[in-house]
Amino acid sequence: MAQLINGKEIAARLRGEIAAETAVLKEKGITPGLAVILVGDDPASQTYVRNKQKACQEVGFYSEQINLPATTTQEELLAVVKELNERKDIHGILCQLPLPKGLDDGAVIAAIDPKKDVDAFHAENVGHIMIGDQHFLPCTPAGVMELIHRSGITVEGRHCVVIGRSNIVGKPMAMLLLQKNGTVTICHSRTKDLAAICRQADILVAAVGRAKFVTADMVKEGATVIDVGINRDENGKLCGDVDFAAVEPIVGAITPVPGGVGPMTIAMLMKNTLTAAKTYGC
């Protein structure tokens, strides 16, 4: 039976560590502050934002939610970002994506002060990740690395295969594995013989966004499988990119969905906000 990598438990421990560090920082007169901009009324985005606020309360941060109507113009949104950039009580800013049609995600990300870009999406922060001297890491890939580390899994010298090449997960995931001396292959929709490449992986990260895409014939016995996907199956039940029931008996370690990578994403957002407060708020 595979080792079950429990993201809920690991995220809870991480939040406890962040809360302890926050208490020390507060004694110095600094309370980490996170501002979340929510444009429109997308139900999924509202749920994500509520979870972020709950996490902020748990670790002792100041949190502020800016709700804007779907009719908000690009100029109005950028003005809100500018105001938050200038506020000393706000150390982290994120704009919940996707934005309503007609608004430019890229322009908003570019407008956020890189020192407050706790999603690590700004081009300056992406560049730092490329050369390995980053202050912030993208939350989901960073969460994956934390899961791997705290589960006692070695990356160095292992063949790491990432399925997916998005700017948010796939590309930075590959960079972080490379920084830990993994040998990295990135696969995508144009990859030939995808299953054969996946079967070579000691560590397989699935971030493709397709329910149960990774099947038993795509994994090597004893491999570590990290499932980043959040999908719905044919019965409407939450599932990942990996066919868990078929893959779990074969591999050495695996993350479940839900309860795997998901909780780590918000925990790493808290860690980035704490880093921003410690680095730039003193």
**146 within 8 A of 268, measured Cβ to Cβ:** yes
Q: Quick one: DSSP state of residue 151?
A: T
Give pLDDT, residue 96: 94
For residue 282, pLDDT over 70 is answered with no
Give pLDDT, residue 37: 97
DSSP sequence for 180-243: TT-EEEEE-TT-TTHHHHHTT-SEEEE-S--TT-B-GGGS-TT-EEEE---EE-TTS-EE-SB-
**Which residue in the list 115, 116, 117, 119 is annotated as catalytic?**
119
Residue 24: other Cβ atoms inside 10 A: 10
Query: Any catalytic annotation for residue 241?
Result: no
Does this model's pTM top 0.75? yes
Q: Which structural domains are found in the chain, ordered by start?
A: 29-114 (3.40.50.10860), 139-261 (3.40.50.720)
b (16+ CB within 10 A) / e for 5-22: bbbeebbeebbeebeebb
**Which residue in the list 96, 134, 202, 241 is annotated as catalytic?**
96
Give the rounded percent of residues in the chain with a pLDDT score beyond 70. 100
Mind listing the pLDDT tens digit for each residue in 48-61?
A: 889 999 999 999 99
Read off the tokens for 90.
Answer: 């706000």
Query: Any catalytic annotation for residue 133?
Result: no
Query: Any catalytic annotation for residue 96?
Result: yes
**Which residue in the list 52, 115, 116, 212 is annotated as catalytic?**
52
For residue 249, pLDDT over 90 is answered with yes
For residue 150, name the pLDDT band (cuts at 50, 70, 90).
Answer: very high
